[in-house]
């Protein structure tokens, strides 16, 4: 008997890690059962294929029973085989014919609603914590033969399953190689979170994240289509996207779903937000204590008036208010519901108002602090959000010593540092990358 050659039938999928093949032996002949474990339901396969196989004596009998099954389709076109497989059909290669039987897995793990990267009108569900479900989601959204899934385990103790998903025809193989090397070198004992893995495969003391951690399947699929690699860790509802550039962290999925007239200004808003959240406190210190000459006379007089009650130098009030804001943000994460965070933010502002009447901070500082806090949350990706929260402190220190010159120096160094970063060999910050416009 001739050996069954899987690669000849399903060229692209043969290397896939979740592909299962079984040989069903009859006396002289054999049938080949092929399915994707991530897409198919084991009990359905058992009841529709394995059970008839065990009960039947001859191949013809088995064939007859199969034909009676619901979801049976006879395959004429070889080209469709892989598509069927990806859609969750089990393929049976019989000596005389090929058939497909629908054994699609009912989505077992209900994915959760997106909460961290919520968008208004667009896909509402995030990944789930189960790795198979997540791959199922990706395969449904990206039904191509070229999609490769490779499994491995990370963590010498935890042995957490990890899936590397990429589009074989588009992926940059240098990046893939670099990524695999990094993954081999991970020697943590317990790996439990995507952020942790992200940190382990990039440089630990990088100020900025060089890989996106996202909970959105649509973002992952979009990046797959651009030739990026997705890492899915079992036990977290987040995917890691590598390589990522700076601009990715400030892009929301909304940008693709709406008319450019709305989305472009919103994008601009996000960049302005990023600028404000990093440099506004520093600019406040610089202008109030070193360079009040850039204000108009009226604003300068008002500022001097509102600061008149404050006994300490300007950077005390800045640090005081920033501490308050950071503490509130941190506290609101511990609160169960997000509505709670709103309450604390508002409460914080009232507290700030009280601090102003008590003469601890000036009224302009209250505005500055709330602007910093609000614009911080304009940034869609949480890791970038955290990184920018940190950067404002060195800027404030520079502003204390050098005023506006210091702020600009800090921003310059920050820009040079950011461009010096590489995400898996790709430049992290570079203008005019010339990305494909097709996804728009």
- Beta partners for residue 30, in sequence order: 25
The answer to whether residue 421 forms part of the interface with other proteins (CB under 8 A) is yes
Question: CA angle at residue 326 from 323 to 331, to 5 degrees?
Answer: 120
The answer to whether residue 325 forms part of the interface with other proteins (CB under 8 A) is no
Per-position x/- string for 281-320, each x denoting binding to other proteins as judged by CB under 8 A, each - no binding: -------xxxxxxxxxxx-xxxxxxxxx-x--xx------
Q: Encoding tokens for residue 317?
A: 């009030």
341 CB-contact burial (10 Å; exposed 0-12 / middle 13-18 / buried 19+)? middle
Residues 362-391 that bind other proteins (CB under 8 A): 363
The answer to whether residue 206 forms part of the interface with other proteins (CB under 8 A) is no
Please identify, using beta-carbon distances, which residue of 92 and 208 lies nearer to other proteins: 208
In this structure, are residues 147 and 39 in contact, taking their beta carbons and an 8 Å threshold?
no
Please identify, using beta-carbon distances, which residue of 26 and 295 lies nearer to other proteins: 295
Looking at 5-13, 181-189, 259-267, 414-422, which segment touches other proteins (CB under 8 A)? 414-422
As measured in angstroms, the least distance from the Cβ of 247 to other proteins is 12
Looking at 42-50, 51-59, 342-350, 410-418, which segment touches other proteins (CB under 8 A)? 410-418
Please identify, using beta-carbon distances, which residue of 135 and 399 lies nearer to other proteins: 399
The answer to whether residue 207 forms part of the interface with other proteins (CB under 8 A) is no
Report CA torsion sign: 213, 218, 219, 220: positive
Looking at 128-136, 174-182, 336-344, 424-432, which segment touches other proteins (CB under 8 A)? 424-432
CA 71 to chain centroid, in Å, comes to 36
As measured in angstroms, the least distance from the Cβ of 231 to other proteins is 23
Residue spans of alpha helices (H) in 59-107: 59-68, 80-86
The answer to whether residue 423 forms part of the interface with other proteins (CB under 8 A) is no
Question: CA angle at residue 265 from 259 to 267, to 5 degrees?
Answer: 95
As measured in angstroms, the least distance from the Cβ of 254 to other proteins is 25
SS3 call for 122:
coil
Looking at 170-178, 255-263, 322-330, 430-438, which segment touches other proteins (CB under 8 A)? 430-438
Q: Encoding tokens for residue 252?
A: 């929301």
What's 294's DSSP letter? G
In this structure, are residues 373 and 349 in contact, taking their beta carbons and an 8 Å threshold?
no
The site that binds other proteins (CB under 8 A) totals a number of residues, namely 46
As measured in angstroms, the least distance from the Cβ of 428 to other proteins is 9
The answer to whether residue 419 forms part of the interface with other proteins (CB under 8 A) is yes
The answer to whether residue 68 forms part of the interface with other proteins (CB under 8 A) is no
Please identify, using beta-carbon distances, which residue of 120 and 431 lies nearer to other proteins: 431
CA distances (Å), origin 417, targets 72, 279, 413: 59, 16, 6
The answer to whether residue 258 forms part of the interface with other proteins (CB under 8 A) is no
Q: Encoding tokens for residue 246?
A: 């700076």
Please identify, using beta-carbon distances, which residue of 80 and 206 lies nearer to other proteins: 206
In this structure, are residues 201 and 186 in contact, taking their beta carbons and an 8 Å threshold?
yes
Pairwise CA distance, residues 331 & 314, whole Å: 26
User: For the chain, what is the total number of helices (H) and then of strands (E)?
Assistant: 17, 12
The answer to whether residue 204 forms part of the interface with other proteins (CB under 8 A) is no
As measured in angstroms, the least distance from the Cβ of 364 to other proteins is 10
Which residues would be at the binding site for other proteins (CB under 8 A)? 288-298, 300-308, 310, 313-314, 363, 400-406, 408-409, 412-413, 415-416, 419-422, 427, 429-432
């Amino acid at each position: 008997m001739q050996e069954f050659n899987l690669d000849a039938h399903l060229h692209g999928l043969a290397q896939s890690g979740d592909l299962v093949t079984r040989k069903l032996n009859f006396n002289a002949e054999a049938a080949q059962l092929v399915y994707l474990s991530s897409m198919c339901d084991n009990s359905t396969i058992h009841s529709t294929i394995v059970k008839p196989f065990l009960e039947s004596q001859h191949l013809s009998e088995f064939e007859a029973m199969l034909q009676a099954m619901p979801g049976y389709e006879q395959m004429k076109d070889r080209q469709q085989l892989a598509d069927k497989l990806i859609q969750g059909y089990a393929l049976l290669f019989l000596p005389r014919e090929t058939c497909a039987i629908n054994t699609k897995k009912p989505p077992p793990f209900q994915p959760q609603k997106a909460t961290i990267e919520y968008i208004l009108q667009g896909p509402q569900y995030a990944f789930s914590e189960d790795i198979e479900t997540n791959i199922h989601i990706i395969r449904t959204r990206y039904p191509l033969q070229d999609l490769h899934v490779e499994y491995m385990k990370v963590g010498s103790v935890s042995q957490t399953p990890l899936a590397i998903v990429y589009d074989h025809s588009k992926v940059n193989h240098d990046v893939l190689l670099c990524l695999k090397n990094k993954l081999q070198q991970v020697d943590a004992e317990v790996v439990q979170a995507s952020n942790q893995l992200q940190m382990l495969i990039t440089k630990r003391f990088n100020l900025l994240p060089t890989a996106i951690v996202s909970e959105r399947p649509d973002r992952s699929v979009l990046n797959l289509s651009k030739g990026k690699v997705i890492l899915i860790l079992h036990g977290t509802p987040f995917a890691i996207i590598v390589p990522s550039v700076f601009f990715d962290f400030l892009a929301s999925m909304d940008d693709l779903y709406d008319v450019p007239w709305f989305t472009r200004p919103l994008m601009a808003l996000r960049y302005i937000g990023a600028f404000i959240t990093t440099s506004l406190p520093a600019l406040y210190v610089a202008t109030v204590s070193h360079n009040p000459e850039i204000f108009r006379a009226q604003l300068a007089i008002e500022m001097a008036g509102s600061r008149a009650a404050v006994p300490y130098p300007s950077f005390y009030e800045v640090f005081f208010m920033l501490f308050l804001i950071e503490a509130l943000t941190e506290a609101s994460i511990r609160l169960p519901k997000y509505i709670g965070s709103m309450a604390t933010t508002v409460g914080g502002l009232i507290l700030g108002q009280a601090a102003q009447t008590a003469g601890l901070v000036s009224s302009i500082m209250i505005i500055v602090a709330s602007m910093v806090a609000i614009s911080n949350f304009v940034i869609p990706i949480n890791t970038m959000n955290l990184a920018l929260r940190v950067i404002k402190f060195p800027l404030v220190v520079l502003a204390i010593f050098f005023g506006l010159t210091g702020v600009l120096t800090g921003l310059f160094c920050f820009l040079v540092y950011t461009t010096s970063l590489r995400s898996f060999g790709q430049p992290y910050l570079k203008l005019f990358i010339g990305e494909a416009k097709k996804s728009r």
